[in-house]
Chain A
Amino acid sequence: MSMAKAPVMEDKELARQADRARLLAVEMVNSLGLGYLGQVLSSAELLTVAMGRFLRTGLDRFVLSPAHYVTGVYAVAAVLGRLNAGALATYGRDGSELETIGTERTPFVDHTCGSLAQGLSVGIGYALADRLAGSDARVVVFSSDGEMEEGQTWEAAIFAAHHGLSSLSVLLDCNDSQVDGPVSSVTSLEPIAAKWEAFGWEVFEVEGHDIGSISSAMTVTRDHRPRVVVARTSPTGGLEALNGSVDAHFIKMTDDLAESMTEELVRRIG
């Protein structure tokens, strides 16, 4: 029974780490005055599971397709002890390696793209190379629901399924947020899970702020298909301070807003 309890504790600790990453992101974005905070708030658990639990450093590949999420990568890396606070303080400043939109200089990711929806194809290239080399490395492509509007996503989905690239996993942050507002107000992507299923993928639809659900979806026994974790998330990350009315794609930060978000997160972390 103790074996069964241990992961539960670990899940709780990972959940705290996700909130710690949110806290760091609020600091970074508030210090700069602007930034892509909504992406961190929606994806903190997804990135924490991917970087903190699933990916094996030096073996597996991590593609961050929407580079606008990179703030979350920095924050999670810092929480995991891979980046120091001094580096975080340079976030978004001229000359810093920690840019607001990820680039070739971005640490912790094997590929990222500010021009959206190019990442899955690159992940496929990695998976093909691993297959040729006889490697058992895994490829995680972090993607977002907005990227499903781009045709390249579906070109790539067709290819990966046809070739049975089972080492490939897509972590899909469905936060219903894009520049012009809710994704669902711009285009109808639903039924998202059924679309991927129809394209030949193994689909796991999960509550995207639940560490245990994300972890299970990433690790249960595989079949021959590539896998997509359709993670239902909120661009506020459950923070009441944002009151559900914020422009989640690009937040203009005020000290008051940062203060109330910080208080709320500190309370949640406990």
Chain B
Amino acid sequence: MLRPSPYTTVLKPYGSALVQVAERRSDVVCLGADLTRQTETDLFRDRFPDRFFNAGMAEANLIGMAAGLARAGLIPFVNTFGVFCTRRPYDQVAMSIAYPNLAVRLVGFMPGLSSPGGPSHQAIDDIALMRALPNMAVIDVGDANETRQVVQETLDVDGPLYLRLKRGEIPEILDDSYRFRLNRATVVRPGRDVVVVTAGMMLPTAIKAAEAASSEVDVAVVYSPVIKPLDGDTVLEAAEGTAGVVTAENHSVIGGLGSAVAEVMAEAALGVPLRRVGVQDRFAEPGSRPYLFSKYGLSSTAILDGIWELAGIMSPPPRVTEVEREHEGSFEPV
């Protein structure tokens, strides 16, 4: 299931996968808003110029046009930064796409603090916003192999999806045995003492924390890229009887994966404590990814702190070097 680190990377897996599905499906159309290369859709534009529509910097109109195309039977992929397809045109997404339950794929790039561009570009609330909309499914993708599968296998889902993607060079963490499924989370590492539930870019961070803990705590890692509808059964099954659950997300701890897990645990009266690693209800600032991830606690160190607290171990947790991310794209504020 898991490849060994350091992970190899794949360049533009989303952009390539989108071209692949468009080769065999003439109903796939691609929309953007002045961020073509940044959303890997230069590949689509160059291959299928007639099916590529650039709205310019006009996201309200962008969303409405996608609704019209979907109503006419096409499958629009709408590509921009996460902040610009959720926070900015929220009413348009709610009323023109989610409410009519149209098969639009909103693809939001630069998740969480992966953007060096500061609060205007850092989508720390996109999952919360999209999760609150009826009909909308939310997927926080973290692996190159998975990216390809998500594009292909959700193509005929008859409703809106929000895909949260990192751009550029994407790590290969999961091997060929991994199967993305819209209704299932995956236990990528078994463990009996503490469970880490994670999604998206935090997967390698969670794996590193679990491995570092292994001499003293047996840590399971549940990978749940589909945050809505959350596979509560897999989370509860893994969590039952353990010392606790740590959620790890590149997003605010309010409204995202941590909240979704808290909801299923509370409603099941599991009686297992929860710690949420993520952005702690704060706006960040411009900065490099390693700096921001460290400063705002999106780290193996923060996950280990949570594991240690839940396991009730008095001695300090092991020190761990953070996941190397320098191969995941250049520093390029847009």
Contact = CB atoms under 8 A, between A and B. Distances in A.
Contacts, number: 92
Interface in B65-111: 65-74, 76, 91-92, 95-96, 99-100
B53 interface: yes
A78 interface: no
A111 B91 contact: no
A190 to B, nearest CB: 23
**From DSSP, what is the main secondary structure of chain A's interface residues?**
helix
B99 A104 contact: yes
Contact of B53 (A119, A128, A156): A128
B303 interface: no
Interface residues of A, number: 27
Nearest to B92: A118
A122 B53 contact: no
Interface centre among B60, B62, B91 (most CB of A within 10 A): B60
Given A126-B72, A129-B68, A129-B72, A121 B91 contact: no
A121 B72 contact: no
Interface residues of B, number: 29
A110 B68 CA distance: 9
Given A121-B65, A122-B64, A132-B50, A115 B71 contact: no
Contact of A113 (B51, B55, B61, B96): B96
Contacts of B68: 111, 121-129
A148 to B, nearest CB: 14
A158 interface: yes
A95 interface: no
Contacts of B58: 155-156, 158-159
Contact of A132 (B64, B74, B91): B74
Contacts of B99: 104
Interface in A78-129: 104, 110-111, 113-115, 118-129
A111 B60 contact: no
Contacts of A130: 72
A270 interface: no
Given A121-B68, A125-B67, A159 B51 contact: no
Interface in A147-166: 151-152, 155-156, 158-159
Given A125-B68, A156-B61, 7 more contacts: A104-B100, A115-B95, A118-B96, A127-B68, A128-B65, A128-B68, A132-B74
Interface of B: 29, 50-51, 53, 55-56, 58, 60-74, 76, 91-92, 95-96, 99-100
